[in-house]
Amino acid sequence: MKNKDIANSIEAIAPLHLQESYDNCGFQVGNPEEECSGVLICVDATEEIIQEAIDKACNLVVTHHPLLFHAVKQVLDRNRMDRVLFKAIKNNITIYSCHTAIDFAPALGVSMTDAEILGLTDIQPLVKMEDKTGPVAGELKQRMSVKQAIEHIKKSLDCSAARLSRYDEKAVVKKIAIGGGACGDFIVDAIKAGADIFVTSDCKHNDFIDHQKDIILMDLGHFDTEKCTKLIFYKIITEKFPNFAVYKSEIEQNPIIYC
């Protein structure tokens, strides 16, 4: 099996044409034609991740966030990207990334997966798109207080902290909208959908002020709303190649520490 065969299995679910125009999904460095010895899955490529791939005898790293995002004119060991490129090339590691393509994948998109992890029912897209599924909304199986809903969301998505726009102990939560990653542009759509809480990340200061009375914004941070991509890629690859060596990174942690 070649590296490109692994990529093809992912692109069958998340074809590259789904990615945003600014994005850079696909092979980042290495050789798509090389025989694959094993796959390591992560959110972000770091030097530690490349070392983990080496230790696990994996010559393909599948990431969510692209390592190469902007035009590169020099590689001079000045930053994380440079150092990861050096280490990957020296150790014959190929890196493949699937960012907004998997975000918008209709069947196994990031927001849809998060919603399923929360146990929501009747999951529907917040915005109708021709061949994409972005943020979604669904209903809890039973009504919860705000406190119960917040604890349920944090526990289900394995998050230690959240930023909230409002904490109303008397409010009842039934419908939850979720947008994995930075989905602040969909706040109004979540309100129109009748969601009691909108779970997302990277909300701006004004978002909390402007929509405080309309909906409870729950900002869990970028990593914690997108780390489900490791589950997604693992599911895709292992279902296509059930007897192949595929690993989810054991060392990767949220790069932001809450204290």
Per-residue model confidence (pLDDT) at position 102:
97
**What's the first-to-final CA gap in the chain, in angstroms?**
45
Per-residue model confidence (pLDDT) at position 77:
84
Sequence-ordered alpha helix ranges (H) in the chain: 3-13, 47-55, 80-90, 100-103, 110-117, 146-156, 187-192, 205-210, 222-226, 229-240
The closest alpha carbon to 13, from 231, 201, 221, belongs to 231
Q: Which parts of the chain have pLDDT scores under 70? A: none
Distance of alpha carbon 251 from its chain centroid, rounded?
A: 17
Distance of alpha carbon 249 from its chain centroid, rounded?
A: 14
Strand order through the sheet with 163-164: 121-125, 136-145, 172-182, 197-201, 216-219, 163-164
Per-residue model confidence (pLDDT) at position 73:
84
Per-residue model confidence (pLDDT) at position 156:
98
Q: What's the pTM value of the predicted model, to 2 decimals?
A: 0.94
Tell me the C-alpha distance between 225 and 178, whole Å: 9
Per-residue model confidence (pLDDT) at position 72:
84
The closest alpha carbon to 29, from 45, 48, 12, 11, belongs to 45
Tell me the C-alpha distance between 203 and 217, whole Å: 8
Per-residue model confidence (pLDDT) at position 259:
81
